[in-house]
A and B are shown apart, each in its own frame.
Chain A
Amino acid sequence: MRDVWIAAAAMTRFGRRSESLEDLMADAALEALREADRQPDALVVTAMAPEEFVGEGNLASHIGTYLGLSHVPGLRVETATSSGAAALYAGLALIASGFHNHVLVVGGEKMTHVSTPRVSEIISRVIDPHERSYGATMPALAGMVARAALAKGLFTEMDMARVAVKNHAHGARNPYAHFQRTVTLEEVMSSRLIADPLRLQHCCPISDGAAAVVLTSDPTGLKLAGMGQGSDYLAIRYRSSLTGFRATQDAARAAFKMAGFGPERVQVAEIHDAFAPFEILALEDTGLFPPGTATRAIQNGELTLEGRLPVNPSGGLNARGHALAATGLAQVVELVWQLTGRAVGRQVKATVGLAHSIGGMATNNWVTLVEQVA
């Protein structure tokens, strides 16, 4: 298996955007291609639900043509809300296998033009049909997970709020973030209930945006050191535990195995905090913190930009935003910027970064490790 390297990474600002899905993806892709200075010999495209949100299908060809790359073999990858990470994995596999040498991976989502109940309904199609038929949405399932974790004493409502406060503080320093303002503990704790005990400020926004990464077989100094996928039952009612995600645990194990090092080398992490309590669960599921220690790290400020292990320097899904299929790639863009000293206003010191992406209600998760090799 060949080593795979990152040649370039770019993204658009996340948020309520007036541009089309095609233009958002083009903005990210063209910037990444300029920086990569290589012509791609394969294209991996991802959007989670373009058929529903923008009425477009045959996406690999559609975006390939829009980008002037119709002559380049393209494919579309989709694993619900972790589609960006899955697309990166497809790119990794295309190069590691020797099939291709330079792959453009681009993901995007455009959905703020659709009404919130409609967006909620479209996204909830990633949920098991029985559970969905009871009106279970992603916030509903996350609310159930959070309540079960609170009842077990894994964390408190204050800890959930601390995550949101930290990630908004980071987002306030990221010009690419959907929310570029700080919030206080009181604001989070008094924001309106969405899915009891989850409040509005615990939940990621509905965002538009795109991100792109160019992978190559040429050593660039920035190595895609490890990637792992983990899966679980579509139905959360089939799972033995509601308060930890097997898909994250398996993904982390596979990623660290491929990279040949352990969690102790990770110095910065982008975590899928679609709901604030998920960050706490993921910190332990990935092995970055031993069980029962993540809340103390949050309380001690260890996860801030100045802390021992900065988590979600971009602001995370909570503040940078969640443009579905763009998110898994945007996490890697942030890691690239952090590892190469280009994270203006929020720079941390790190040579190894971890990205964690959740697909659906943790049915198809990914852990990605990026390493700056001297």
Chain B
Amino acid sequence: METIAGSRCPDCGWVVAPPARICPRHPVEMTPVEISGYGLVLSYTTLTVAPEGFKPPLHIAVVELPGGARIFCHGRQTRQLKIGRRVAIEQVDGIFYFASLGIADRVSMFWKRRGAAPERTREAVKSAVKRFFSGYKNDGTTPPAENGEEKDPRPTEKR
């Protein structure tokens, strides 16, 4: 399972992700903490009009991780997604994705992002292999990925 970098307030114990230098509740420096990469969907949407630098349809969810921190993440679709549903979080190049992604999806996602192609492929395979051996079980709530049906939602160019 992925771990996600967060931070904890030494005073009030609040955990946020990504890590913040100062607790948003009061001016106290936070300390780093690692959070398990799964959580409950709090809400989600699909943008059919995406801002500059993104391609629609853009699927975005806010997920509450164990311990209470919430993160934003992308997915390939939101069909069958429900508020309160448990999803796995995967990090690809520092970007969070919810639910599971097929190997082909991951390869295409890596391929489309900036950087050396062979390195991307290696990373994609590594990520797929890691998923395969990590003991992660698809709990049946995640629909199978539809290869090639939807486009990579991430930016096509850096802003």
**Could you say which residues of chain A place their CB within 8 Å of the CB of B111?**
none
* Interchain CB contact under 8 A, B50 and A131: no
Please, how many angstroms separate the alpha-carbon atoms of A191 and B83 in the complex? 24
Interface size on B, residues (CB 8 A): 29
Please, how many angstroms separate the alpha-carbon atoms of A235 and B18 in the complex? 11
* Interchain CB contact under 8 A, B83 and A148: yes
- Known: A121-B53, A131-B72, A233-B24. Is A196-B43 also a contact (CB below 8 A)? no
Q: Is A99 an interface residue (CB 8 A)?
A: no
Q: Is B48 an interface residue (CB 8 A)?
A: yes
* Interchain CB contact under 8 A, A145 and B43: yes
* Interchain CB contact under 8 A, A134 and B60: yes
Q: Is A258 an interface residue (CB 8 A)?
A: no
Q: Is B118 an interface residue (CB 8 A)?
A: no
For B78-107 the 0/1 string (1 means CB < 8 A from A) is 100001000000000001100000000000
For B56-74 the 0/1 string (1 means CB < 8 A from A) is 0010101000000011111
| Residues from 16 to 32 in B contacting A, C-beta threshold 8 Å | 16, 18, 24
8 Å CB contact of A242 from B43, B50, B71, B96: B43
Q: Is B52 an interface residue (CB 8 A)?
A: yes
Q: Is A117 an interface residue (CB 8 A)?
A: yes
Closest to B71 in A: A237
* Interchain CB contact under 8 A, B60 and A136: yes
Closest to A149 in B: B43
**Could you say which residues of chain B place their CB within 8 Å of the CB of A144?**
42-45, 60, 62
Closest to A239 in B: B70
Closest to B63 in A: A237
Chain A: minimal CB distance from B15 (Å): 11
A residues apposed to B, CB below 8 Å: 116-118, 120-121, 124, 130-131, 133-137, 139-140, 143-145, 147-148, 151, 192-198, 233, 235-238, 242
